[in-house]
């Protein structure tokens, strides 16, 4: 059985992430979507909220599990029998940092591969922070995030219709 891990801060999960989740889940037997709780970013949503939004959005994909982790990614990956870490690449600007992380993860755990998947063109401009920003200014985020996330943003920010 092949187990892949898709890690990220998911604050909140966007349709760009969901696209990567769907396509990865179609390749691997099992996909763990793991919310990083201790990254150096100030989160809008709590760990539980971020988990809940991913669970809501991926509920119909049978081989997807949602979890959170703290600490080293490769340590979590080893503990859960992960053979591949999946990352999405949106633009050339993602490449340098992703290369650095993949290389370091490979140094730490040579038995775990990092695989890159190109983000769908229609979501290549998306990021969680840009979604948070436009939502905070009252712009509609329909089509950019799953409907449940739209609702969470609306409730949290109370700004757009």
**Is 24 a binder of ligand COA (CB under 6 A)?**
no
Say which residues have a Cβ less than 8 Å from residue 155's Cβ, sequence separation at least 6. none
CA distance 156 to 154: 6
123 binds ligand COA (CB under 6 A): yes
- The answer to whether 46 is a known catalytic residue is no
95 binds ligand COA (CB under 6 A): no
Q: How far is the CB of 105 from ligand COA (least distance, A)?
A: 5
The Cα 68–Cα 161 span in angstroms is 31
Please, which of residues 60-79 interact with ligand COA by CB under 6 A?
72-73
Which CB sits closer to ligand COA, 9 or 58?
Answer: 9
Closest CA to 77 of 42, 101, 48: 101
Q: Which residues form the catalytic set?
A: 17, 41, 90, 128
């Amino acid at each position: 059985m092949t187990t892949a891990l898709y890690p990220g801060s998911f604050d909140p999960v966007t349709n760009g992430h969901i696209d990567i989740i769907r396509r990865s889940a179609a390749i691997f037997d099992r996909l763990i979507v793991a919310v990083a709780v201790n990254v150096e970013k100030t989160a809008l949503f709590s760990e539980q909220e971020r988990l809940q939004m991913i669970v809501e959005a991926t509920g119909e994909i049978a081989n997807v599990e949602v979890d959170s982790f703290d600490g080293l990614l490769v340590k979590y990956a080893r503990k859960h029998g992960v053979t591949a870490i999946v990352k999405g690449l949106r633009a050339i600007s993602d490449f340098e940092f992703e290369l650095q992380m993949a290389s370091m993860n490979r140094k730490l755990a040579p038995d775990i591969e990092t695989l890159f998947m190109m983000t769908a063109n229609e979501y290549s401009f998306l990021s969680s922070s840009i979604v948070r920003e436009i939502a905070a200014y009252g712009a509609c985020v329909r089509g950019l995030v799953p409907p449940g996330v739209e609702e969470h943003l609306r409730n949290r920010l109370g700004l757009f219709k």
